[in-house]
Structure 1
Amino acid sequence: MKRHFFHFLCIAIFLLLSGIFFSFKASRKMKITFSIRKGEPTDVVIDKLAKEHVIKEPFISKIYARFNNIKVKAGNYLLNGTYSDEDILKILSRGQVHYVKFVIPESYDLFDVADVLDSCFPNCSKKRFLGVSFNSTFVRSLGINSTSLEGFLFPDTYLVDREATCGEIISAMVSNFNRKVKPLFKTYNPPAIVKKALGSVSIEKVITVASIVEKETSLESERPIIAGIIYKRLVKKMPLQCDPTVIYAYRLKGIFKKRLNGKDIEKIKSPFNTYLVRGLPPTPICNPGVKSIKAAMYPVNTPFLYFFAVDGKHIFSRTYKEHLRKMRKYYNRHAK
């Protein structure tokens, strides 16, 4: 009787262990995100994931982890598919962390970028990002000869670890700028108008022009013309009189303005107010794309000196008198 009981017990234990092992190997469909802190022991992580119904067999998982010397890696994980407990442990050992996808469009300034990052990354708040972005010592440590990162965070689509710091995110964006923009300047021979307007031509100055072009127009055909007007005005020692630079001056003071009136222009005393201060603003006013950068590098030799916006495009003029006449004609026609 005892012998039969012993055989029955052995069979029962074998079947139980077989069932547990089968469950350990069986794949289940799931879509879940979870985090592992730095230094968390493997057994603790397995218990936590078992409570969250990510791991089904914690006992076998712990034995498997010990025999295979599995050490989990910290980070944010995304599981979206079919996984067994064994699959999950392998993923934890490789550190397949949760990457965040974010997009920085052309023409975004540092304040726009800060809003995007603040909503995606717990370790990169808006305040922290802007703090380092306007820290000239940090900016120069990245090889940028400017007082801010404005203009040098290349607009693109990025995939970054959700736990990344502001410094790590900025490093990825500046590296992207270095890969995609700096090669354009390797064999760059500036046209005569660019040399005459800028004196000593530098990437920083050209990017500043490109940032104004980016903010002034989204039409590819207009970009080289507006760049040419900017350079012509610089050569003639005329103020650039570009609204986007004044809007940026207000942004630096924490005030967002979509449009300006005459009083707005008169009120703000800033080196970015290109109605009152001649020459280029001290830094770029946004992060331009390659098309605007190329327009700033190779402007059209244009006869125009003035322009104003209408219905998403611009009307250009050679003289101030012609500029006023075209403006009156346009606004009188649309006032009816």
Structure 2
Amino acid sequence: MPQRSQGAYARGGARPPKKGSPVPVVIGVLIAIAVVAGAALFLFPRIFGGDSANIEAGQQVSITIPEGSSSDAIATILVDNHIIADSGEYYAAVKKLNAEMSLKPGDYQFETLQDPLSVVKQLVAGPNLEGVKLTVPEGKTVEQTAQLVEDAYGISADEFISQAKASAYAGDYPFLADAGNDSLEGFLYPKTYTFAGTPTADEVIRAMLDQYQLDVVDAFDFDAGRATISATYGIELSDYELLTLASIVEREGLNADQRAHVASVFLNRLAGKGDFAGRPYLQSDATLMYETGGAVTAEDIQGIDSPYNSYQNAGLPPTPICSPSSEAILATLEPTDSDDLYFYITQDEEYFSQTYDEHMQSWE
């Protein structure tokens, strides 16, 4: 700690101070050390416990920013891949460029420990990495998705199916905690994906689960949907059961209005209303088609012993039967207010009825 010169006192005409206790000096030194250490921790966070100190700058890194990613989610991806060393610099660059609403999803190639301002400018400009697209339509099963992945990237369908186990991902994706049969059925979100080079089955699955988190978990209010269904139908359904019902609604309806109405029909059946009093059976061909892989016959309904035969088993099947669209999920969470128990839907016609007699008359 610097000492005052004696001349300073002499010029003021004051006597030099008496020598006092060393305690104030010691305290001052400790304060100075603390200030310096605090500054170092602020300015050089990676030196104190981070891992970027071991990362070589200038290495090529390819990343995918999922559609719908928030600025915070993007910051996490950039830091985790060592493209930037500190999220604070990223936020400063976003603010400087007023870019928060202009960051684009897609595939990018950056370098490790890149200048954050240049990274944000590229995110505003858009993807700079071309890749092979994978389009997964709504209503596809895990097996059908696996075939699409094989066609796009050459990853064998068997390898993909073997990798697609809920237990392999539940630790990173809490929404998989209640998945039945160790299955990812229903969670491989339908979307168009682009991967640089040849991805692994794990990378494809994680991209789909990331998208499910963004477009389903973060986008929909399952608590409000459960409360509405409980109050209207007297049924308590978990998030997983709602997803399962949405997958059936996806396959039975053709548009948003139909799906919301179909959802109310199935909820009325599960509640045991009207003709279904005391026997809450879905009676859905779509659930049995998950077993048969094709059209369902009267013989199938009577003869197939399967938990997916909703004519013989009450309640919901053990897993979803496909990956439903956001439209089908919303229809399930916000069903039409009706007392209908039957429906008949074709490409050209739709009929909803409260009794079996009405139902038979509607399409005969």
**Matching of residues 119-158 of structure 1 within 5 Å:** 119-122=151-154, 124-133=155-164, 135-141=165-171, 142-143=173-174, 144=176, 145-146=178-179, 147-158=182-193
2:288–2:309 CA contact under 8 A, matched in 1? yes
1:262 aligned residue (298, 306, 311): 298
Structure 1 residues 93 and 130, CA gap change in structure 2 (3 angstroms): closer
- Counterpart of 1:322 in structure 2: which amino acid? E
Counterpart position of 2:347:
311
2:323 aligned residue (287, 295, 315): 287
Shift of the alpha carbon at 1:199? 4.5
Determine the C-alpha separation between the residues in 2 that align with 1:182 and 1:136. 16
Counterpart position of 2:53:
none
Q: Deviations over 1:149-168 (max 9, x none)?
A: 11111111111133211111
- Counterpart of 2:158 in structure 1: which amino acid? K
Determine the C-alpha separation between the residues in 2 that align with 1:304 and 1:194. 18
Structure 1 residues 270 and 198, CA gap change in structure 2 (3 angstroms): farther
- Counterpart of 1:128 in structure 2: which amino acid? E
1:217–1:313 CA contact under 8 A, matched in 2? no
1:139–1:148 CA contact under 8 A, matched in 2? no
Structure 1 residues 241 and 312, CA gap change in structure 2 (3 angstroms): farther
Counterpart position of 2:285:
243
Percent identity of equivalent pairs? 29
Q: Secondary structure at the match of 2:134?
A: strand
Counterpart position of 2:216:
181
Structure 1 residues 118 and 194, CA gap change in structure 2 (3 angstroms): farther
Shift of the alpha carbon at 1:213? 0.8
Structure 1 residues 195 and 166, CA gap change in structure 2 (3 angstroms): farther
**Matching of residues 92-103 of structure 1 within 5 Å:** 99-103=131-135
1:239–1:278 CA contact under 8 A, matched in 2? yes
TM-score (norm 2): 0.59
1:152–1:177 CA contact under 8 A, matched in 2? yes
Determine the C-alpha separation between the residues in 2 that align with 1:179 and 1:270. 33
- Counterpart of 1:314 in structure 2: which amino acid? E
Unpaired runs of at least 5, structure 2: 1-57, 63-108, 113-127, 273-278
Shift of the alpha carbon at 1:233? 0.4
Shift of the alpha carbon at 1:119? 0.9
Q: Secondary structure at the match of 1:140?
A: coil
Determine the C-alpha separation between the residues in 2 that align with 1:272 and 1:161. 38
2:61–2:111 CA contact under 8 A, matched in 1? no
Structure 1 residues 327 and 220, CA gap change in structure 2 (3 angstroms): same
Structure 1 residues 74 and 286, CA gap change in structure 2 (3 angstroms): same
Choose 313-322 or 183-192, whichever is displaced more. Answer: 183-192
Determine the C-alpha separation between the residues in 2 that align with 1:266 and 1:292. 29
Determine the C-alpha separation between the residues in 2 that align with 1:177 and 1:323. 37
Shift of the alpha carbon at 1:309? 2.5
2:264 aligned residue (228, 237, 244): 228
2:148 aligned residue (103, 116, 123): 116
Structure 1 residues 216 and 189, CA gap change in structure 2 (3 angstroms): closer
Q: Secondary structure at the match of 1:282?
A: coil
- Counterpart of 1:126 in structure 2: which amino acid? A
- Counterpart of 2:217 in structure 1: which amino acid? K
2:260–2:332 CA contact under 8 A, matched in 1? yes
Shift of the alpha carbon at 1:129? 1.2
Note the aligned Cα RMSD (angstroms). Answer: 2.9
Q: Secondary structure at the match of 2:336?
A: coil
Determine the C-alpha separation between the residues in 1 that align with 2:360 and 2:280. 17
Shift of the alpha carbon at 1:269? 1.0
Shift of the alpha carbon at 1:201? 3.1
Structure 1 residues 209 and 198, CA gap change in structure 2 (3 angstroms): farther
- Counterpart of 1:167 in structure 2: which amino acid? D
- Counterpart of 1:285 in structure 2: which amino acid? I
Unpaired runs of at least 5, structure 1: 1-70, 76-91, 251-255, 329-336
Determine the C-alpha separation between the residues in 2 that align with 1:213 and 1:186. 16
Structure 1 residues 301 and 114, CA gap change in structure 2 (3 angstroms): same
Counterpart position of 1:23:
none
Shift of the alpha carbon at 1:281? 0.9
Determine the C-alpha separation between the residues in 1 that align with 2:238 and 2:269. 18
Q: Deviations over 1:285-319 (max 9, x none)?
A: 11111111010001112121011223344211110
Shift of the alpha carbon at 1:175? 0.5
**Matching of residues 70-109 of structure 1 within 5 Å:** 99-109=131-141
1:274 aligned residue (300, 306, 310): 310
1:151–1:288 CA contact under 8 A, matched in 2? yes
TM-score (norm 1): 0.63
